[in-house]
Amino acid sequence: MDGCRRFFSLPDGIGYLTKLHQLKLSDTEIRELPESIGQLSNLQNLDLNGCQRLSKLPESIGYLSELSNLEVTETKIKTLPASFCQLSNLKVLNLNGNLDLQELHSGIENLANLSQLELSEVGIEVLPRCIGRLANLEKLSFEHKQKPFENYQL
């Protein structure tokens, strides 16, 4: 579905695709994901880059137990669902360009396998203290061109 500008939604039946490993919806006009996405028990890669109309992720995203790579850049997401902190196999989280995203849930420390966290050009000004408990984190990107870095707290 990559780049399909006339694609606005996924059917609820997407949850029946239990063998699906990768779902690429980048640059589509999708506004929301159905709760049934949480039934994709083998999904490893979810790409929502450039889905500029997407304003939230469903709570069921926390059920994606095999998810290792989540790319959600340049969307209208303001907050991540609490269930997000249950993604124990997540290794790469890219949230770049989400200017409306104001905070990271303190439960992010539960993402024990997270090795790469991309937070450039987001609305977040203060990272939660628990980020220091991400023992496997190898790359943290927190660049902001519009605001001087000294305004941010780590």
pLDDT for position 91: 98
Q: Is the dihedral of CA 21, 26, 30, 31 positive or negative?
A: positive
Whether residue 137 lies inside any domain: the answer is: yes
pLDDT, tens digit (0-9, with 9 covering 90-100), for 89-105: 999 999 999 999 998 98
Is a pLDDT exceeding 70 seen at residue 2? no
CATH code at 59? 3.80.10.10
Whether residue 86 lies inside any domain: the answer is: yes
When divided into structural domains, the chain yields a total of: 1
Q: Is 113 exposed, middle or buried (0-12, 13-18, 19+ CB in 10 A)?
A: middle
pLDDT band at 5 (very low <50, low <70, confident <90, very high): low
pLDDT for position 151: 43
pLDDT for position 38: 97
Whether residue 18 lies inside any domain: the answer is: yes
Domain assignment of residue 125, given as a range = 12-151
Whether residue 116 lies inside any domain: the answer is: yes
pLDDT band at 65 (very low <50, low <70, confident <90, very high): very high
